[in-house]
């Protein structure tokens, strides 16, 4: 199928894009790489009279390493993120998640801002942002806003973004010393969305106790989910004290909504999710401990 007819707009600046979306109202939609939006338009799952293309807005692209953070422009493609040595050194979890996104054609056109805005519960980038306590920078007629990732994702394909608000960049903290990161996901085929996935980010104190711990599951329900209760029990104790399999079971016991679909029943997906958390936790601890 092909999308319903629409008018095409290609502003040169973020301010022009905001002005257009404000003027056109609910009948308009931003489009970046189009890897999520275009299939929905082709299947007539969504219909808009106007598309505002962001590809000419140069200020939405780029990677800037600051003192303790890395800013990535919303229009930066997955492949650019994946190739960046700066990202690999400063935000290793983001770098490791990138090759798991779809296929190379998708990574060449898809953008990090588009992925964050789409807020797919099985998407890698939303889960990474949640795990690393990233901040999402936006622009609207009301000015600039910064939204913590923990408050940004509100439900299935839904976010805290207003209709006239544009993501301009995502800010990730630089990985501190003695940190370990891991992402594990199970898919039916390479490039498919995950049946279940898990990310772990932890940092050890000088005495080898866990100073910070973040565990996120994705692909199991409408949104990625942080296991905050389990994180609290792990923090302050020695990393080697925790059995990865037990951590996996404890985390999946906190996931309130696991979807049953063509990938398998709830119990199956829970078992797979448990295994993904256990593997990711073990790898993250090994990296934090041994480098």
With a pLDDT cut of 90, the percent of the chain lying above it is 91
Determine the Cα–Cα distance for residues 178 and 269; give it in Å rounded to an integer. Answer: 32
The predicted pLDDT at position 236 comes to 97
Share of the chain above pLDDT 70, in %: 100
Residue recorded with tokens 């696991």: 258
Q: Whole-model pTM? A: 0.95
Within 10 angstroms of residue 250's Cβ, the number of other Cβ atoms is 19
Identify the pLDDT of residue 275.
98
How far apart (Å, rounded) are the C-alpha atoms in residues 1 and 280?
Answer: 40
At residue 75 the predicted structure's pLDDT band, cuts being 50, 70 and 90, is very high
Token readout for 19 is 């002005």
SS (H, E, C) 177-211: CCEEEEEEEECCCCCCCCCEEEEEEEEECCCCEEE
Query: Model confidence at 29, in pLDDT bands (50, 70, 90)?
Result: very high
Q: What is the pLDDT of residues 242-260, one digit of tens each?
A: 999 999 999 999 998 898 8
Answer whether residue 262 shows pLDDT above 80.
no
Closest CA to 215 of 205, 225, 206: 225
pLDDT, tens digit, 9 for 90 and up, residues 220-231:
999 999 999 999
Domains of the chain: 7-52 (3.30.43.10), 59-173 (3.30.465.10), 179-290 (3.30.390.50)
Measured CA to CA, the distance from residue 281 to residue 291 in angstroms comes to 15
For strands 143-148 and 135-140, give the pairing: antiparallel
Say what the pLDDT of residue 257 is. Answer: 85
Looking at residues 96-123, what average pLDDT do you find?
96
Give me the chain's average pLDDT, please. Answer: 95
Cα(127)–Cα(129) distance, integer angstroms: 5
Indicate if the pLDDT at residue 162 is higher than 90: yes
Q: If we measure between CA atoms, which residue out of 14, 11, 34, 223 comes closest to residue 111?
A: 34
């Amino acid at each position: 199928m092909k999308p319903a007819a629409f008018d095409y707009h290609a502003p040169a600046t973020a301010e022009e894009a905001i002005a257009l979306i404000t003027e056109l109202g609910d009948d308009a939609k931003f489009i970046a790489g189009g890897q999520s939006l275009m299939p929905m338009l082709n299947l007539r799952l969504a219909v808009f009279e106007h598309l505002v293309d962001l590809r000419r807005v140069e200020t939405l692209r780029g990677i800037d390493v600051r003192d303790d953070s890395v800013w990535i422009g919303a229009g930066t493609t997955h492949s650019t993120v994946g190739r960046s040595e700066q990202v690999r050194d400063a935000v290793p979890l983001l770098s490791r998640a990138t090759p798991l996104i779809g296929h190379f054609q998708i990574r060449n056109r898809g953008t990090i801002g588009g992925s964050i805005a789409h807020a797919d519960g099985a998407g890698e980038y939303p889960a990474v942002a949640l795990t690393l306590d990233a901040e999402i920078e936006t622009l609207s007629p009301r000015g600039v806003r910064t939204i913590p990732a923990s408050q940004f994702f509100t439900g299935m394909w839904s976010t805290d973004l207003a209709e006239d608000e544009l993501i301009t960049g995502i800010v990730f903290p630089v990985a501190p010393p003695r940190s370990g990161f891991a992402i594990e996901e199970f898919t039916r085929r390479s490039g498919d969305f995950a049946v279940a996935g898990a990310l772990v980010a932890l940092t050890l104190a000088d005495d080898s106790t866990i100073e910070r711990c973040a565990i996120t599951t994705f692909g199991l329900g409408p949104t990625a989910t942080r296991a905050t209760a389990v994180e609290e029990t792990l923090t302050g104790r020695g990393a080697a004290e925790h059995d990865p399999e037990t951590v996996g079971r404890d985390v999946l016991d906190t996931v309130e909504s696991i979807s049953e679909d063509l990938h398998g029943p709830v119990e199956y997906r829970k078992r797979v999710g448990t295994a993904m958390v256990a593997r990711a936790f073990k790898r993250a601890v090994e990296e934090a401990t041994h480098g």
